[in-house]
Amino acid sequence: MNPDDKSLFLDAMEDVQPLKRCTDIHWQPNCNQRARRTIDTAQLDNFLTTGFLDVLPLAEPLFFQRTGVQRGVIEKLRSGKYPRQASLNLLRQPVEQCRQMLFSFIKQAQKEGMRNLIIIHGKGREAQSHPNIVRSYLARWLTEFEEVQAFCAALPHHGGSGACYVALRKSNEARLENWERHARRSR
């Protein structure tokens, strides 16, 4: 193998983890056949992107708002006035595991009709530190969910720049219930 091939191979394999450390792969023991890996079917639809990443500067707070989200909603989210219905802790997790955990978390929260979440991602002191890489991916991934209406950095007592509040869109059932409740008032 020439040095250029080896260099290309090492570059391509830099984020690969040995199987013995990977906890999300399960092997079915079978003496006569090759072991088969079980597949988490929920993760087959995981659309969250990986690959090239622009690392967010440490001084730049996490913030995103979809078009049409009211200013009052954003202010209430920033001030931590919405009750947090669920939380996800991504501290010290590999990036791929964070991707899988976030996907499952958002989908489950949406399924259960939750609207207000908090995600703890940690904060690093250096731009290229692992927590800041996770934070940068999180900022990208959250915008990829249509259900996510907004997110912002948490207040200091909820984790500050090491955590973020996430507001999900109302489910169709909640929207209908809200409409019916307000329709009754106007009668």
* Residues 74-127 pLDDT 10s: 999 999 999 999 999 999 999 999 999 999 999 999 988 899 999 999 988 887
The segments of the chain whose pLDDT lies below 70 read 1, 16-44, 184-187
Residue ranges and CATH numbers for the domains of the chain are 46-172 (3.30.1370.110)
Burial letters 138-156, b for 16+ CB under 10 A, else e: bbebbeebebbbbbbbbee
Question: Helices (DSSP H) in 45-162: which residue ranges?
Answer: 71-78, 95-111, 130-144
pLDDT at residue 142, rounded to an integer: 95
> Per this entry, what is the length of the chain?
187
Whole-number Å distance between alpha carbons of 131 and 47: 22
Contact (CB, 8 A) for 114 and 105: no
Contact (CB, 8 A) for 66 and 95: no
pLDDT at residue 48, rounded to an integer: 85
Helices 95-111 and 130-144 cross at an angle (nearest 10°) of: 40
The pTM of this model reads 0.71
Instruction: Look up residue 86 and give its two tokens.
Output: 């669920």
Distance of CA 152 to the CA centre of its chain: 13
pLDDT at residue 130, rounded to an integer: 85
